Amino acid sequence: MQVSNLIKLIPTYSQLFRDASRQKKFVQTILEPMIREAAINNDGSLDEEDFKKIRTYYGFGVPAIVGEGFCTLRGKPMLERERFTSTYQGALTGLYDDFFDKTHIDPEGIRKMMDDPSGFPASSSLEQLFTTLLTKVHEGLYDKDLFNRTFDQVFLAQAESSKQVGSELSIEEIKDISFRKGGYSLLFYRSIFSHELIEGEEEALYNAGSLMQLGNDIFDVYDDERQHIKTLLTACRTMNEVRDIFRDQMEKSIRLIRKSAYNDKDKSGYLHKFVLAISRCFVCMDQLERLQQKTGGEFIPSEYSRNELICDMEKPANVLRSIKYYVAYKF
């Protein structure tokens, strides 16, 4: 047990709770009217999953967890303009994924929407909502060049990730594709904030984003297996391989954050939030690792049921296990 982690547990949890409560109210006020209007005028290109992602995942989590983390790292609270912009940016994320995963729009059309959302002639409710949200983001930007650069990197990484369906890829190729997608996504979310990137920050956040992407893949293994998407979870032969990659990337991320030029106190505050949030991944890996006993010590997702692969982090027992990992982790 790390005593310092135990001491910081309640203050860190309290801060995360306040961040989440504030953003939930903001989503109700700012995004719900847009969602209702989009639902009324929906031509069928939007579905309930899109609205759910806006309400409870990206539109909520990007500002409340990722954005508040950036503010903790810089040592200054989130500005109202930043919250608006981060909320709209988060809300468009799931819709952007749809262009690659569901509708398979021509890449040139996606680029036109990215470059000129207000002038793009939307041909579907999906495109209309996406361009409306992106126009709102553009109105709140502090550094449009940085935003465009990181958005371009996300576009290229997203296009590259199409290889994860139907292609023969090595473990290293899968790792490279998924890490670039996660790394550039986190830098994209960082790009809308008012403070400039400082020494060491870009590399640190890129690696933290790569770790977050692996965390998402750990929790999404059921859906990825069903959709024949190759991730480290569906490609590695054992969960020990996944756990080793995860631990290495976590240690690298923490080391790089420590090396960045931010104030030591602020870096510590950020890392306590970061490790507490990411510790849930160890709980899910434990659950998945136990499944190997059914298949001769090899992890074979296609052989397990939905209930076996999905880790419910709302269960009190799993929350407690996650806290134990956080308290024990030396960082």
Residue appearing with tokens 């990992």: 325
Average pLDDT of the segment spanning 194-213: 98
Domains held by the chain: number: 2
- Same-domain check for residues 202 and 263: yes
CA gap 279, 282 in Å, rounded: 6
Question: For residue 99, what are its two tokens?
Answer: 């262009």
- Same-domain check for residues 133 and 270: no
- Same-domain check for residues 184 and 319: yes
Which of 64-73, 103-112, 218-227 is predicted least confidently? 103-112
- Same-domain check for residues 127 and 42: yes
User: Mean pLDDT across the chain, nearest whole number?
Assistant: 96
From residue 121, alpha-carbon distances to 42, 52, 100, 132 in Å are: 16, 26, 19, 11
Q: Which range of residues forms the domain containing residue 239? A: 168-331
Average pLDDT of the segment spanning 195-221: 97
- Same-domain check for residues 225 and 290: yes
Predicted confidence at residue 69, as pLDDT, reads 98
From residue 38, alpha-carbon distances to 32, 140, 178, 209, 237 in Å are: 10, 22, 31, 30, 44
Predicted confidence at residue 305, as pLDDT, reads 97
pLDDT digits (tens, 9 = 90+) for 35-44: 999 999 999 9
- Same-domain check for residues 30 and 127: yes
- Same-domain check for residues 184 and 323: yes
pLDDT digits (tens, 9 = 90+) for 209-263: 999 999 999 999 999 999 999 999 999 999 999 999 999 999 999 999 999 999 9
Per DSSP, helices labelled H in the chain are 3-26, 32-40, 48-52, 58-61, 68-74, 80-101, 107-115, 125-139, 144-160, 171-190, 201-219, 221-226, 232-235, 239-259, 264-278, 280-291, 306-309, 316-328
Reported confidence tier of residue 1, pLDDT bands at 50, 70, 90 = low
Res 102 pLDDT > 90: no
Average pLDDT of the segment spanning 295-309: 97
- Same-domain check for residues 206 and 297: yes
68 domain-assigned: yes
